[in-house]
Chain A
Amino acid sequence: MLGDGVIIASALVYMGLLFGIAYYGDQRADAGRSIIANPYIYTLSLAIYCTAWTFYGSVGLAAASGVDFLPIYLGPTLMAVLFWFVLRRIVRITKAHRITSIADFVASRYGKSGLLAGMVTVIAVLGVLPYISIQLKAIATSFNVLRLYPAVTMPAASAQQAVWMDTTFYVALVLVVFAILFGTRHIDNTERHEGMVAAVAFESLFKLVVFVLVGAVVTFGMFNGPGDLFRQAATQPNLAALMRFDVVPGGYGGWLSLTFLAMMAFLFLPRQFQVLVVENVDETHLRKAIWLFPLYLLLINLFVLPIALGGRLIFSNGGVDADTFVLALPMAQHLPDLALLVFLGGLSAAISMILFETVTLSTMVCNDLVMPILLRANPRWLAGRADLSGLLLGIRRTGIAAVILLGYLYFRFVGESYALVASGLISFAAAAQFAPPILIGLYWKRASRLGALIGLSGGFLIWAYTLLLPAMAHSGWISAAFIEHGPFGLAMLKPYALFGLAGLDRYMHAVFWSMLFNIGGLVLGSMLGKPDTIEQVQGSQFVGILERKRHDGDSLLWRGVVETAELHELLARFIGPHRANEAFDRYAREHDTDSLQADSRLIHYTERLLAGAIGAASARVMISSIVMGEVLSIEEVMTILDESTQVIEYSRRLEQKSRELEAASAELQEANNRLRALDRLKDEFISTVTHELRTPLTSIRAFSEILLANPDMEAEQCSKFLGIIVKESERLTRLINQVLDMAKIDSDRVEWRIDQVDLRALIEDAINSTSQLFRDKAVVLQAELGHHPVMVAGDHDRLTQVIINLLSNAVKFCPEQSGEVIIRLPSLADTCRIEVIDNGPGIARDQHKLIFEKFHQVNDVLAGKPKGTGLGLPISQKIVEHHHGHIWVESEIGQGATFIVELPRNG
């Protein structure tokens, strides 16, 4: 048993589920991770085309006139083939001009005409009312049929009940609340509703599965497969006719007009335009939709004829409305669960249509009708309000409620006497009125506002006269004589045979005249008046949308679509064109792609590269601004880029500054450390110098005092002490001179007199100067200086000082009598070399470097011998180094020592 409670509860749970999906979709969209950005969701969302009309009405139509239901699906299928040529243009223009609805589109094309926008809105609302009414009717009827389960009984017509007894009325109220909750939670300036699209995609899948399930149950459960079903049907002549193509009213002309209507409706019904165009996130999704959507249509139509025939066979007494066969058959088969699913499937199809249609229409009503009027009526009052979003939401909610309730009124007073499909076609015909201004406007630059206004009004009037008024007449609102004889008996104006055109199916008739007036008006109007500048600009932009290049000045970027070149440009701004080229070349090599359209991997790849330059968060923002975000023109993106580049540049400079400061402070620290080390060295130096000075001074003072205190000292001892005093005084003098010399060299205050110097002559001079020392100790000096002058650039006196120092040291360390010193001047290719070799005690290896340090003396060896100043070698080293040369010692303990000076050769 299915009580009202179970049915209503199921319906509410299902609606709650849709709401949950929509909520999740919106959350993800806000977080920048869209769940609808793939071609499958897009394709499924297109199936919003399949409303309760499809779900219940196709079977109803098929049961009455066989394959007559097919044009409604052939139209979209044909249109899908044209997606790439027609829809892609529309999508691209819509993104480029930030168009939010079909009214907006028409108005934009014709010089942003507010009048046209308003007119499209009015036509859309009026045109869609029959369509909405059939959704309400379908929900109410299916509910009323289902609640009577297990009996399969047709409910009483609503018109016979008071409004508050009418299920349809409550259905309408529930839908008002639901649509308002769903569609106007917040206002998005792109007028995109990702959550709703996600919900529609889900429900499209749901209604397809349920419908196919019913078809399968009927075909295979209630009959023994399609063969059995068609055989049984073929036995009945009235059913056999349904399987032929000649049953369509109006013959092939009727087929053609219905197919045409469906094609146009598929594109230009307000919700279709919304889902196909405004909600499109990536125009490449069209490629998949081109074949995937027709496949969906094929699947959902596969069982239409079997169900219709099955219904006719099972309910052969005719007591069951064919529009309810889909529901009634599972009920008759006692499958309450399936029946409930069918109810939910129909509800689902109806809800999604009403939801999107009313939200779209309410947006149009608000933006293109109410707000312009308010702005014109009282601009100051509007301007004074800081936040208009509350007002906008109020208008939209009112719009939603008004559209649904008007739909209910249409249902109650007009539509109930019509089959679902009949009412639906009236809406299709209305939507078809938008085709000429849009399609012709896409390809004909000269199409003007005047033409569009004339054509649209003409087409609309014909539509209203040939379809809407007769529908009202059928319902008894207007005298039926109006149909039979024309107004005031004017046969020429009979709505189904206008201007004497009789014998056509009423839809074909309406299509013919409305399109004639519409297109004719458009063309004539465009030829008559000269379009103004803005019309021309918009016209040429719309017509030339596909030809426009990115560098055309106001080229644009699309949501979700990004060209490889744009990614490249973005990247190049941050990492430089060269590196960007390299990166993209590498990517192309690795992924074997040269597509103009960047795929998600390339976007990710770019993001990673960007992240390296500006950080992950900024990269995300930059990428999403061109890929995911709202439509931004390249100028806007570049403005953002330039701003962020400036910020980046600024922070880069700040970083650099702080790095420089760090470096400077590190340098200071180091200099400070060096100064401290120098200070310690200076202290040590002074302490050492003090020590060195005090030592001879001590002897001098001691012996002076001794001599002074002992005036009667023996002459021999006296002169010995005096000799010591003189020697120590000389030592002191020498020391002071060398300390000063060292200090001068250290502080670079020496005046170097660089001349061409002959080393050979110089060494001979030095030998002469030190000959006394050699004689004193009886040390042999052997000079091997060759026979040619050896020229170097140098300071003659300073170099002589070095040689004298080396010779003096050599003598000092040589043993008396057996001492031997060799000075050599070997001829080498690239350097001048002087070697001073002694046969003294030698110098331990660990001392080889130390002996060139100030005041370092080889004490062990010198014990008991007269000391030097400890500055001779350091000074020699300084002098040699100033000549860009080297000085070092080669020696072993007990092997004598060789001091070597190398100076760069002249030239």
Chain B
Amino acid sequence: MLKNQHNTRLNENAWQPEGTDMANKILVVDDEPNIVLSLEFLMKQAGFQVRTASDGEAALAAIAAEPPDLVLLDVMMPRKNGYEVCQAIRANPAWKGTRIIMLTAKGREVEREKGLALGADDYITKPFSTQEVVERVRELLAEAD
């Protein structure tokens, strides 16, 4: 409850992003443009720096270019699915600090287990609650700090 109130309050100030230097970098990866658009909006509103990618390879290229603090990673994507991207990130020690949240539309327990086994930090099922996504991202980044 407390967090929700906090979030609500934060959302109310969404238009004033926190200092860009300090802000955590988030990579949103999904092949559905509308979903990318919605997540980008939410993350920006929560004060993070956001980049996007529409498939697995583009995601890895973006990570290589500038490792983000957290990746919101869709599973079902062309050119390397979410699991492969997750594996690739975990295989590189340089990206050890990168948090990963898997997003999936399948929602079966097996998928969740698989994602976590491959080194994802959290797992969110589509359709998701916007509040929850933001909350989870914050939590994970807080843990990392």
Residues in B whose Cβ lies below 8 Å from that of A709? 11, 130-131
Interface presence of B42 (CB below 8 A): yes
Q: How far is the CA of A255 from the CA of B83 in the complex (A)?
A: 124
How many Å lie between the Cα of A702 and that of B105 in the bound state?
14
Q: Mark B59-91, 1 if CB is under 8 A from A, else 0.
A: 000000000000000001011000000000000
* Residues of the B chain whose Cβ atoms lie less than 8 Å from the Cβ of A699: 32, 34-35, 38
Main SS of chain B's interface residues? loop
B20 within 8 A of A: no
- Write the nearest CB–CB distance from B19 to chain A, whole angstroms: 22
Question: Complex formed: what's the CA distance from A859 to B38 in Å?
Answer: 22
Residues of B within 8 A of A860 (CB): 78-79
Complex Cα distance A863/B127, Å? 21
What chain A residues lie within 8 Å of B24 (beta carbons)?
Answer: none
Tell me whether A698 and B130 are in contact (CB under 8 A): no
With A706-B42, A863-B54: A701-B106 Cβ-Cβ less than 8 Å: no
From B33, B106, B126, B127, contact of A687 by CB (8 A): B106
Determine the chain B residues whose CB is within 8 A of the CB of A710 once the complex forms.
Answer: 11, 14, 45
What separation, in Å, do the CA atoms of A863 and B53 have in the docked complex?
Answer: 11
A741 within 8 A of B: no
The answer to whether A698 and B128 touch (CB under 8 A), given A706-B38, A706-B41, A864-B54, is yes
Residues in A whose Cβ lies below 8 Å from that of B55: 863
* In contact, A702 and B107 (Cβ under 8 angstroms): no
Known: A702-B42, A706-B38, A710-B14. A687 touches B131 (CB 8 A): no
A691 at interface by CB-CB < 8 Å: yes
How far apart are the CA atoms of A724 and B34 in the complex, in Å? 7
Partner of B127, one of A697, A706, A859: A697
From A866, which residue of chain B is reached at the shortest CB distance?
B33
Residue of A nearest to B108 (CB): A687
How would you classify the secondary structure of chain A's contact residues: helix, strand, loop or mixed?
A: helix
How many positions in chain A have a CB within 8 Å of any CB in the partner chain? 24
Q: Report if A700 contacts B (CB, 8 A).
A: yes
Question: What residues on A are CB-neighbors of B54 within 8 Å?
Answer: 863-864
B107: which A residues are within 8 A, CB to CB? 690, 694
Question: Range of interface residues on chain B?
Answer: 20 to 34
**Nearest B residue (CB) for A725:** B34
- B11 to A, closest residue via Cβ: A709
**Does the CB pair B78–A694 fall under 8 Å?**
no
Query: A246 in the interface, Cβ–Cβ < 8 Å?
Result: no
Measured CB to CB, the nearest residue on chain A to B38 is A702
Answer yes or no: A705 CB below 8 A from chain B CBs: yes
A694's partner among B31, B34, B105, B129 (CB-CB below 8 A) is B105
Compute how far the CA of A700 lies from the CA of B108 in the bound complex, rounded to whole angstroms: 21
- A834 to B140 alpha-carbon distance, docked (Å): 57
Q: Please, which residue of chain B has its CB at the minimum distance from the CB of A688?
A: B106
Is B117 part of the contact surface with A, judged by Cβ < 8 Å? no
For residue B39, CB closer than 8 A to chain A, the reply is yes
Q: Say how far B130's CB is from chain A's closest CB, in angstroms.
A: 4
Interface string of B88-113 (1 = CB under 8 A from A): 00000000000000000111100000
A223 part of interface (Cβ distance < 8 Å): no
Distance between Cα atoms of A690 and B127 in the complex (Å): 11
Smallest Cβ-Cβ distance to A704: which chain B residue: B130
Minimal beta-carbon separation of B105 from chain A (angstroms): 4
Interface centre among B31, B42, B45, B105 (most CB of A within 10 A): B105
| B18 smallest CB distance to A (angstroms) | 18
A665 interface hit (Cβ, 8 Å): no
Question: Whole-angstrom distance between the alpha carbons of A690 and B105 in the complex?
Answer: 7
A28 to chain B, nearest CB (A): 78
Smallest CB–CB gap between A272 and chain B, Å?
Answer: 100
Report A660-710 residues with CB < 8 Å from chain B CB: 687, 690-691, 694-695, 697-703, 705-706, 709-710
List A residues at the B interface (Cβ < 8 Å).
Answer: 687, 690-691, 694-695, 697-703, 705-706, 709-710, 724, 727-728, 859-860, 863-864, 867
Residues of B within 8 A of A (CB): 11, 14, 31-35, 37-39, 41-42, 45, 54-55, 76, 78-79, 105-108, 126-131
Given contacts A691-B106, A694-B106, 12 further A-B contacts (CB under 8 A): A694-B105, A695-B32, A695-B105, A695-B126, A698-B38, A701-B130, A702-B38, A702-B130, A703-B34, A705-B129, A706-B41, A724-B34
The 4 closest A-B pairs by CB, nearest first: A702-B38, A694-B105, A859-B78, A699-B34
